[in-house]
Copies of this chain bind each other. A is one copy, B any other.
Amino acid sequence: MGLGERMAKYAIGLDYGTNSVRALLVDVADGAELATSVFEYPSGDRGVILDPKDPNLARQNPQDYVDGFYATVREVLQGVDPQDVIGLGVDTTGSSPIPVDRSGQPLAFDERFKDEPAAMCWLWKDHTSFAEAREITEKAVQLGMPYLAKCGGTYSSEWFWSKILHCARTQPDVFEAAYSWVEFADWVPGYLTGNLEPSKVARSVCAAGHKAMYADDWGGLPSKEFLGALDPRLADLRDRLFDKAVPSDQPAGTLTKEVAERAGLREGIPVAVGAFDAHFGAVASGAKPGTLVKIIGTSTCDCMVHPLDLPLADVPGLCGIVKGSVLPGYYGLEAGQSAVGDIFNWFATFVGRSHEELTAGAMKLRPGESGLLALDWNNGNRTILVDPLLTGLLVGQTLHTSPAEVYRTLIEATAFGAYKIVKRLEEYGVSVDEVVNCGGIAEKSPLVMQIYADVMNRPMKVSRSAQTCALGSAIFGAVVGGAYSNAEEAQAKMTGVKDVVYTPDPAAAAVYERLFALYTELHDAFGTAEWSGSLGHVMKELIQIRHQARV
């Protein structure tokens, strides 16, 4: 090695999404992304096991996770010296709990259960457990438990205990066969480090805090008494779960010889404790106090951090407020929309047209011109209503309404939904000074970003990286690998935003302010049971707005 040449060190970030897993090889010095590889899950429908009789069901085969790890890591290592890889980080979707046996093996790996969806990973977007979610919420309120204060006041059908309770109720054979349950985000680091036994697997405070009602304040998981009031079998299960969850600047262990050899890596390098994809995406987009990071994909996750020493109210409707879940040393705040890209994809399929064609048509339209307004609830509403039993709504159709008009309207609807989250945060004293977007849609759709800027009447920035979740994993790989002493130091060197910033157009913002008021009326009328008021003027006003937009 010559003078002036530095010794390169790498971290690998693994990002397990809904349809595929990505590995990203990153230079720990500056975050440069040197190689990436994507593995599409081979099982089910693009990785998701579905049930034609129940649209709420969504499961995954954990074997895809294992196969995807080796395929992608081996590929990104080509051309570099594996000795220079100093650490690994892992993020996944969640809450995606997996029933496991005593050794930590997924029940789906057992011949008895290999075709049983209940024995697989219960994917985040599985909504089969809505009745149990309601029951958990009601029980916590009834027993005066504090558990929901930090997750918006309502427990979700997407979360850990709802799914496990639903399994106990509807598939007792699987529930009985399961020694314990492990989050997808914990299972992968457990597998890589040989710490898969339920008592040994490192548990992510991000997963536990946001989805399993874990908090130091009440001694970890909810009490046996509470769980027993829901179902005695849950109280028993608690003993086979965990007492402590940790942030991702901690190692889950080190790479086993067997895994290292098969992957082409060095044995013994540290693997960071896992977390959810969006939280790592937020870190890699420069999350800091005052910055809202929106990770926009099939759904969105909206993340902020808040100093531990500043006051923070319980924000109704927020999915979670968890110490250390985004950045160690800060509260992590999580909100989100249950479907964004999924709605656009659905509609493109519905009308049999490409996103390019629909986007080109939508670009030609002015705000309000179509006379249309939609609610973005095709997959329920995560924040601020926390209600999976909501559906889409479109109003204002005429005999001339075109697909491009509806496409734009659906984008606007997701922008209004996003704005609801910002407003809710600010109402409760969390100032949103900056919005940084990341994810495929932020990268690829200036139309979406401009509408978001106009609707929220504030600039939209875009994260520099096109694969922020994987970069976030690599950042924590770099931290546990010793390149930095904490995540903020790593952020300072390894993250940034793009030069292009979408700034609001005042005329568009003025139209959207009016449309947002109508959206709010529909939102409150259709989204909250208590509301009572008149909707009679909504269409008239829409027609007026359309008329004015055309004059």
What is A's interface to B at a CB cutoff of 8 Å? 53, 55, 339, 342-343, 346, 350-353, 371, 378-379, 389-403, 525-540, 542-543, 550
B350–A378 touching, CB < 8 Å? no
Closest 5 A/B residue pairs (Cβ): A392-B397, A529-B536, A393-B395, A346-B399, A525-B535
Copies of this protein chain in the complex: 2
Known: A391-B398, A392-B398, A397-B378. A536 touches B528 (CB 8 A): yes
Taking a contact as CB atoms under 8 Å apart, the answer to whether A401 and B535 are in contact is no
| Interface pair A399/B379, CB less than 8 Å apart | yes
Expressed in whole angstroms, the Cα–Cα distance for A353 and B403 within the complex equals 13
The answer to whether A536 and B526 have CB atoms under 8 Å apart is: yes
Q: Least Cβ distance of A264 to chain B in Å?
A: 39
For the complex, give the distance between the alpha carbons of A526 and B396 in Å.
Answer: 11
Within 8 Å by CB of A534, from B353, B401, B531, lies B531
Question: Which of A55, A525, A539 is the most central at the interface, judged by chain B CB atoms within 10 Å of its CB?
Answer: A539
Is the CB–CB distance between B352 and A352 below 8 Å?
A: yes
* A342 surroundings in chain B (CB, below 8 A): 399
Q: What CA separation (Å) do A540 and B387 show in the bound complex?
A: 10
Complex CA distance for A53 and B526, rounded to whole angstroms: 33
A82 to B59: give the CA distance in the assembly, Å: 76
Q: Please, how many angstroms separate the alpha-carbon atoms of A402 and B535 in the complex?
A: 28
Q: Closest chain B residue to A544 by CB distance?
A: B389
Are A352 and B351 in touch, CB under 8 angstroms?
Answer: yes
Contact B536 A389 (CB under 8 A): no
* Chain B residue with Cβ nearest A398: B378
CA distance A389 to B342 in the complex (A): 32
**Of B343, B391, B398, B535, which one neighbours A396 at CB under 8 angstroms?**
B391
Q: Point out which of A339, A526, A550 has the most chain B C-beta atoms below 10 A from its C-beta.
A: A526
Besides A393-B393, A393-B395, A526-B539, 15 more A-B contacts (Cβ < 8 Å) are: A346-B399, A346-B401, A350-B403, A352-B353, A379-B398, A389-B543, A391-B397, A391-B542, A391-B543, A392-B398, A393-B394, A394-B394, A395-B526, A526-B535, A531-B534
